[in-house]
């Protein structure tokens, strides 16, 4: 990081594409960010971050590591690996940097050697520029998703997701998936004398037979 004023907050992490340009990494779903001013990590949550490490400032080198087999994300700082940030991510992820003010950052995607020595070994390799997995569901349009609208009783906490609940800083990203099922009785009118209603097996046309099996009988 070449230049970063004290008043500028930088978030370094990964996210899916497309990602809202006005949100720092870690604030939207399917993203995680390591924040400079607090050292916290935000994982799909704009309001609450978890303690992760010390913050970073001008002159520091921050890296992002990804185990694609397990969906594990970790960060490095000045060549040292930090603890695991999260795991179990299943979507295509891309390096993402966001800032709320002026700054100057040099990005190394493999064109030079990494300060984190292990990243220079062949077993890590370089990820492709384009993803190979299907994109995640569109924000706020998941089937049967529920958005937490406000505080209060449990019944009042949940509101059905719709176009009225757009993704903004006033709408938490905590979601509940609710599926409801119902049964519909189907009346069955059976004739009293089945012998007069259904033909015998021998009178079915040949199209009802397939080999030694009778097809179409219920």
Q: What is the pTM of this model?
A: 0.58
Q: Please tell me the CATH superfamily of domain 10-120, with its number.
A: SPRY domain (2.60.120.920)
Predicted local confidence at residue 174, as pLDDT: 41
**Is the pLDDT confidence value at 15 over 80?**
yes
Cite the residue boundaries of each domain of the chain with CATH code 2.60.120.920: 10-120
pLDDT in tens, 126-166: 566 565 655 555 555 444 434 444 444 434 433 443 444 34
Copy the structure tokens of residue 149. Answer: 């609208």
**Is the pLDDT confidence value at 23 over 60?**
yes
pLDDT in tens, 37-52: 999 999 999 999 999 9
Is-cis flag, bond preceding 18, omega within 30? yes
Q: How far apart are CA 47 and CA 170, in angstroms?
A: 10
């Amino acid at each position: 990081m070449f230049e970063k004023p004290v008043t500028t907050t930088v978030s370094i992490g990964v996210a899916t594409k497309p990602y809202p340009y006005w949100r720092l990494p870690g604030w939207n779903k399917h993203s995680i960010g390591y924040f400079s001013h607090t050292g916290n990590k935000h994982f799909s949550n704009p309001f609450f971050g978890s303690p992760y490490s010390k913050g970073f400032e001008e002159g520091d080198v921050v890296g992002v590591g990804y185990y694609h087999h397990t969906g594990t994300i970790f960060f490095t700082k000045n060549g040292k690996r930090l603890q695991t940030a999260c795991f179990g991510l299943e979507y295509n992820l891309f390096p993402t940097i966001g800032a709320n003010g002026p700054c100057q950052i040099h990005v190394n995607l493999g064109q030079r050697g990494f300060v984190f020595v292990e990243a220079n070994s062949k077993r890590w390799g370089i990820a492709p520029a384009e993803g190979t997995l299907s994109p995640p569901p569109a924000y706020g349009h998941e089937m049967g998703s529920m958005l937490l609208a406000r505080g209060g009783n449990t019944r009042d906490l949940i509101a059905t997701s719709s176009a009225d609940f757009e993704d903004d800083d006033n709408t938490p990203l905590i979601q509940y998936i609710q599926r409801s099922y119902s049964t519909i009785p189907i009346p069955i009118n059976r004739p009293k004398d089945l012998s007069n209603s259904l033909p015998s097996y021998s009178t079915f046309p040949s199209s009802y037979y397939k080999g030694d099996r009778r097809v179409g009988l219920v």
